[in-house]
Amino acid sequence: MAMVDNSLISALCEGLGERAVLLNEPMSKHTTFRIGGPADVLVMPQTEEQAAFVVRSCRAASVPLRVIGRGSDLLVADTGLSGVVMKIAGNLADVRVNGSRIEAQAGASNARIAEAAAQAALTGYEFAAGIPGTVGGAAIMNAGAYGGEFRDVACRLVCLNAAGEVVSLRAYEAQWGYRCSAMDTTNTIVLRVILQLMPGNTQDIRDRMADLSRRRREKQPLEMPSAGSTFKRPVGYFAGKLIEDAGLRGFSIGGAQVSQKHTGFVVNADGATASDVRTLIREVQRRVRENSGVDLHPEVRCWGFKDE
């Protein structure tokens, strides 16, 4: 734990409470891949003020800080993570409906927000109901599915900048692109989102959510640990089709496997290590490039690897 000295640990314990500060915490407990070595320190702030305190404390100590929600798009190295990891899922999770707008803290799950919208007869967030992460992660990655994207419904964001100061961003300032945003490149942490939805029919909304849920269950390997879609969609192609055409359905390295059910997913089939997954991803990239000439780029974020 060379990067995190006792003075920072003491400050975090005092500011957040000792139960909210975990030392040498296995990241396998905090990622949907169920993979990852220990983080030097993992903290779980209960309030937005505590989150800002963590940012300022790590900045003052020159200690790296990473932020996770539910770890649903994340592969952590077997050797773990140096510095501090701040987990916001579960705690910063308040969701409020105000007319046709929903204000939600970044740790709220997409499923919870979609349910709140359905209860309020608001349409526009059905596409995200099955996206396993938090709304904060959806904002940073411009998450999307079934023809919808986060930027379609975003109105405003409340964030922490790299100095731990609260800033408000209007939608256009987020500069959303395909699975990316300005927040992702400026060390900006999303605290809250304000979504602008449209009045709809509750039954129609629930029917749409049920249909998308059925389609996910039928086509995606939801029964196995994964980080969702492994690769970004190349322009003019589908990643899964390129992988299938390269003859890689079911291809495995160690405990990691290209899903038999959906070739766009790499799954933890049998006690996979992060090294297994990373090696498999690279081999898929190589074989697809060799077969079709198309470069696949991971959607999964890889943390803690030497060449990160």
Q: Report the catalytic residues.
A: 179, 229, 299
Exposed (0-12), middle (13-18) or buried (19+): which is 49, by Cβ within 10 Å? Answer: exposed
| C-alpha to C-alpha distance for 28 and 36, rounded to whole angstroms | 4
Exposed (0-12), middle (13-18) or buried (19+): which is 195, by Cβ within 10 Å? Answer: buried
